[in-house]
Amino acid sequence: MATEAAKTFYLVIKTPEKNFCSEPAEEIILETPSGQIGILPGHEPMVSAVAIGPIRIKKEGEWEEAVLSEGFLEVNQDMVVILVDTAEWPDEIDENRARRAEERAQERLQGKLSRIEYAESRAALQRAISRLKVSSHSHKI
């Protein structure tokens, strides 16, 4: 008898501060340095860097959104583990703080910066912009 294909995989998202998410998911869509990827149950094993941006998570037929910063992911059998510097749900995002971070990063980018300072300021800007985008959505999309 053929075994039925799994409809979910187990999704774990961790940051150094917290276990952000640990639950079954039907699909995820997130950003990597080489573009957006989608992961469904039965995905072949892989590792990838994770880029700053939104992650969409399908659970029990409903999509939820969160925002991740940089890290790594591993897909292995029926498990996806994502380790990132930071992760927030929309209702955890302080929009004013993100706006201030965006302004600071924009100001820094106007000045003369070393290559490292430039990369850090670009990343800070991207984190702020991503937080603002995700916070303005409702939890369910």
Contact 57, 90 (CB under 8 A): no
Edge-first strand order for the sheet with 9-14 is 19-25, 9-14, 79-84, 71-76, 46-50
Q: How far is the CB of 104 from ligand ATP (least distance, A)?
A: 7
Footprint of ligand ATP on 12-31 (CB under 6 A): 17
For residue 101, the one-letter residue type is A
Q: Which is nearer to ligand ATP, 75 or 101 (CB)?
A: 101
Per CB under 6 A, does 52 bind ligand ATP? no
Helices and strands counted in the chain (H then E): 2, 10
Instruction: Build a one-symbol-per-residue string for 69-108: x at contacts with ligand ATP by CB under 6 A, - elsewhere.
Output: x----------------x-x---xxx--xx--x-------
Going by DSSP bridges, is the β-strand pair 35-39/9-14 parallel, antiparallel, or unpaired? unpaired
Per CB under 6 A, does 131 bind ligand ATP? yes
Give the footprint of ligand ATP on this chain (CB under 6 A).
Answer: 17, 69, 86, 88, 92-94, 97-98, 101, 124, 127, 131
